[in-house]
Structure 1
Amino acid sequence: MEQRLFDDFKKPAFDDWQNQIIEELKGKPIEKLNWKIAGVEGKPFYTADDLPNPLPQLQVPNHQAEALGIRNWVNYQVIDVVAEKEANEKALLALNSGATGIIFQLKTIPNFDLLLKDVLINYCHIGFKIEHQAQQLLSSFESFVKAKEVDEKGVRGFLHAGEEQFLSKLPNFKIFISEEKNENTHLGLALLLAKTIDVIDQNTNKAAEAQAWLKQFQFNLNVGESYFIEIARHRALRILVGQLANAYGFDLALNDIEISSSSGHWNEPTKDEYNYLLRATTEAMTAIIGGANAVIIQPFHHLFPKNTAQGERIARNISTILKDESYLDKTLDPSAGSYYIESLTAQLVEKSWAILQQIEEKGGLKSLSEKDINALAL
């Protein structure tokens, strides 16, 4: 017979919580406990009445669930390419030590035969970051894939270019599009979507081609320090991209929306460098719990200048620990049903979408000055 341990306890109602808070405040108004962080507004407590109806369904397994498990994220190692051979050795070491993706930071188009020697590109993710010559780089990489007779559908990763964007012939090779960090959370998400719309509209006016572009974006959030807001931001972005697809006239499956999360650079002075290890771990947790498909932890080179390999190993191992010791890969959407996080997510979706509509009514992001953009957050 099932034993229910809590039947003897009365379930507290909203009024019970509120009355208890008012009593403990000893005459101070409860509204004093309301808060606002980065434009996001909150209350002192939440109940089931704060849940959005219907609840968003973000419990979506990844495309390689059979091979990698239903919840998986790419653990990217960032490598600055000075010489192809040295970068290749670093990449092989990283992939054999827990990384599942490599981001090569490039100044020029590399010799791919040297850079990717012995790298099984069908079994990991490859990203390239380059400011100039992006189209030539992409064409050169596509030619390399073809020459090596690699399965094109199995090539995954992205191109992070500092200039014009291009669709790849490789169906799962993404276009990296990142937010510009903004002090107002709603405005930051709206600006990322507005940037996405501008890129699509500059390249096509056909719905079918717009769908191809939207499916091939790798959306990137620069993760901040506000734990629960960051979780809600990642969840909200997935919902917002789905809404954007609907605005273009088609449905986009949630597991076709790729979101990566990048940690900050570690440049502030500190007396205890290991504080940054805790900060980076917390930031990675928010991204993973929020549903990110990839986590990019910047190497701790600044903190360990005499041992850069240690800084790289620490950055690489954060994802491994969160997966193998904290079991964050066992649940698709661990924050689902949380009164607080679901409420934050709904607020971010509603207000960010409203700002996006204002931007588009004014002619799109390219038509707005910095002053116009800042006014949208008021």
Structure 2
Amino acid sequence: MSQVPLHIATEFPARSLEEWRRLVDKDLKGKPFTSLQSPLEGGLTLQPLYASQDAAPPPPGVAPYVRGTQALGHTEGGWLVCQEYAEPDIAVAAEAIRNDLERGTLAVWLCLGPTRGIPVKDEATMEQLLASVLLARTPVHLESEAAPVSMASLLLGVATKAGVSRKALSGSLGIDPLGILARTGALPGGVDAMFTEAAPLVTSLSGSAPELRALLISTRAYSDAGATSVHELAWAIATGVEYLRGMERAGVPPEVAARSVQFALSVGGQFFPEIAKLRAARLLWAKVVAASGGSPEAQAMRLHARTASATKTQRDPWVNILRGTAESFAAVVAGADSISTSPFDEPLGAPDEGARRLARNTQLILRDESSLNRVADPAGGSYYLEQLTTEIARAAWTELQRIEGLGGMEKALTQGDIARVLTETRAARDKAVRTRKQPIVGVSEFPFLGETPVKREARKAFGVENSARVPGVTEGAEVSRSVGLKPSRISEPFELLRDASDRTLAAKGQRPTAFLASLGAVAEHTTRSMWVVNALAAGGIESREKHGFADPAAAVAAFAESGAALAVISGPDAMYPEWVPALTSQLKAKGARVVAVAGRPGDNEAAFRAAGVDLFIYAGADLFSLLSSLHAQLGVA
């Protein structure tokens, strides 16, 4: 065996990006280079190759904190495993908190409110809720949909009663006026009034409770309503700019205000862009605070990440475990200080203990078995992620400048600009979902019509949302108003079709059914036929398959025995010109209410439609619209 050392740097000299590009262009044989690029949300483009940038970001722990706010990352103690609670029953919520803290949860995040959270009314209720929480050791975060300063005072009152000094407290108090305005559509007293009310608390806690942050910037409302990564990031930073200005008007300097801010961002299904988004968030916040005169210490972002609600499904909810794992993994790699993994059954209502256990253990496995906390900034050094971080930061900065041109985030909300942008982004995302360009496993891809529903105990229902009256507001009081942002999950269109199918099954004893007339040998039709079965199942339509008809008469006879009202012709394109016209007319004569053909019709469309074909099912079509049309023609309500 040779003992001669291999010097890779000299044996394989570096090649320039231009040299790689010339080779790629040669292999493309005339196709444009753009054919290798993939579009991302927010107007970004994924390149096929990334190279080293001119200047690498500073190491972890150094402003502008792209690589994290701590020099060693989370290698010493790991990130904080944080659980979120929105259970409307105080006793049930308190028991859930106790159970989770005993089994690995390190911090709690309380969603408070009379309609979509825990209905804390007074100090006694808050004390009951936190009965098992050691406030001197456990960070507590509040996120209130109403009266956040009052909720903060209740928490501080409980701590005082328990003999816990403010210096020992950690977490955040959840004073987020624009977040409340975005979620509920109304803010009693207005934004400036809340800044004035919060200013003494912010000033007091800056000295007495340095680890307890009074202000919150939560993007939950935007993420749940369909914001892209770029918009979510831009609006978070725009909110931060608004808070620094508002607190300064209330007498709190930017240095103090910046140290009082807790950020909470959602992590969605685009793995690498979500990593880049969180890294870019630290970069942009550092730039904003520096421009405001803040010190490097004040520029460090305290970042909480939660797995997104919009990506979760009610159908085949077990897949949510995989989604939550990938999203939590992305948050860890991006260097979030604390992370909440949503229970897989969250779309079905208040999570039960088993689902919370799986969510909690997801992070414990990532930390203790996968050892993700043993590397400071795992994303550092990746040309792709470093460049993507820069691109997302620049795109978000452009959007931030647009918001500033409107007069700031409050005006963007109250004048309906945010709602308008979200309507546009939701429409684009909805189109991608409907055409399965953005597939949803278990819903639009590989749906299982025979899935067993998740069994859960009956729980108390949440209060009525979007009440005409804002709790605690007297008639005539000043109220800032905006278009309340409606949460939505991307799987909802197809789930509505599945719900209709379930109702038909319950009422008639069977689902809407399709007879699949597969032409030719199994090898000739099976790929297309299985694709059609999968596509129909996304709408709750069950397929009855017959493989390999040799002539139209056999297919028609089998259809007559099936009792189906929908027939789908599936086979190789070469057989269609001869078979489709004759078979369609015979199927219609035997009672087929609808005849569909699998595949693009091409030049045969006019002839096929003249023969009686009602629609064509093919990849890239608006599958939701096709399935909705089939429901209507089959009489599915």
TM-score when scaled to structure 2? Answer: 0.53
CA–CA distance in structure 1, aligned partners of residues 88 and 373 of structure 2: 35
Query: Does 2:167 match 1:153?
Result: yes
Q: Structure 1 residue 213: deviation in Å?
A: 1.8
CA–CA distance in structure 2, aligned partners of residues 98 and 2 of structure 1: 52
CA–CA distance in structure 1, aligned partners of residues 349 and 406 of structure 2: 48
Residue 398 of structure 2 aligns with which residue? 354
Question: What letter matches 2:20 in structure 1?
Answer: W
Aligned residue runs from structure 1 range 95-244, under 5 A = 95-105=101-111, 106-110=118-122, 111=124, 112-160=126-174, 162=180, 164=194, 166=198, 167-168=201-202, 169=205, 170-174=209-213, 175-179=215-219, 180-181=222-223, 183-205=227-249, 209-244=253-288
Deviates more, 1:231-240 or 1:149-158: 149-158
Deviates more, 1:98-107 or 1:361-370: 361-370
Is this contact kept in 2: 1:303–1:311, CA < 8 A? no
Question: What letter matches 2:270 in structure 1?
Answer: S
Residue 6 of structure 1 aligns with which residue? 8
Q: Structure 1 residue 285: deviation in Å?
A: 1.0
Is this contact kept in 2: 1:107–1:130, CA < 8 A? no
CA–CA distance in structure 1, aligned partners of residues 350 and 142 of structure 2: 27
Q: Structure 1 residue 116: deviation in Å?
A: 2.3
Query: Does 2:88 match 1:43?
Result: no
Distance verdict in 2 for CA 1:43–1:300, change over 3 Å: closer
Is this contact kept in 1: 2:139–2:170, CA < 8 A? yes
Instruction: Give 1:270's match in structure 2, choosing from 303, 308, 315.
Output: 315
Q: What is the number of residues matched between the two proteins?
A: 373
Question: What letter matches 2:217 in structure 1?
Answer: I
Deviates more, 1:306-315 or 1:209-218: 306-315
TM-score when scaled to structure 1? Answer: 0.86
* RMSD (Å) for aligned C-alpha atoms: 3.3
Instruction: Give 1:32's match in structure 2, choosing from 25, 35, 50.
Output: 35
Residue 91 of structure 1 aligns with which residue? 97
Q: Structure 1 residue 207: deviation in Å?
A: 8.6
Deviates more, 1:353-362 or 1:315-324: 353-362
Deviates more, 1:84-93 or 1:331-340: 84-93
Question: How far does the alpha carbon of each residue in 1:202-251 deviate from its partner, in whole angstroms, 9 at most, with x for none?
Answer: 33238962222221211121111111111100000001000010111122
Residue 290 of structure 2 aligns with which residue? 246
Question: What letter matches 1:315 in structure 2?
Answer: A
Deviates more, 1:9-18 or 1:231-240: 9-18
CA–CA distance in structure 1, aligned partners of residues 159 and 31 of structure 2: 67
CA–CA distance in structure 1, aligned partners of residues 287 and 85 of structure 2: 35
Question: What letter matches 2:103 in structure 1?
Answer: S
Is this contact kept in 2: 1:242–1:253, CA < 8 A? no
CA–CA distance in structure 2, aligned partners of residues 150 and 65 of structure 1: 30
Question: How far does the alpha carbon of each residue in 1:302-344 deviate from its partner, in whole angstroms, 9 at most, with x for none?
Answer: 4788982111101111111110111111122111121111111
Q: Percent identity?
A: 23
**Bigger relative contact order, structure 1 or 2 (CA pairs below 8 A, ≥6 apart):** 1
Distance verdict in 2 for CA 1:361–1:79, change over 3 Å: closer
Residue 79 of structure 1 aligns with which residue? 85
Q: Structure 1 residue 255: deviation in Å?
A: 8.0
Distance verdict in 2 for CA 1:239–1:2, change over 3 Å: farther
Q: Which has the larger radius of gyration?
A: 2
Question: What letter matches 1:154 in structure 2?
Answer: A
CA–CA distance in structure 1, aligned partners of residues 351 and 283 of structure 2: 42
CA–CA distance in structure 1, aligned partners of residues 104 and 78 of structure 2: 13
SS of residue paired to 2:217:
strand
Aligned residue runs from structure 1 range 286-305, under 5 A = 286-302=330-346
CA–CA distance in structure 1, aligned partners of residues 86 and 75 of structure 2: 30
Distance verdict in 2 for CA 1:212–1:4, change over 3 Å: farther
Residue 53 of structure 1 aligns with which residue? 55
Q: Structure 1 residue 10: deviation in Å?
A: 3.8
Deviates more, 1:317-326 or 1:88-97: 88-97
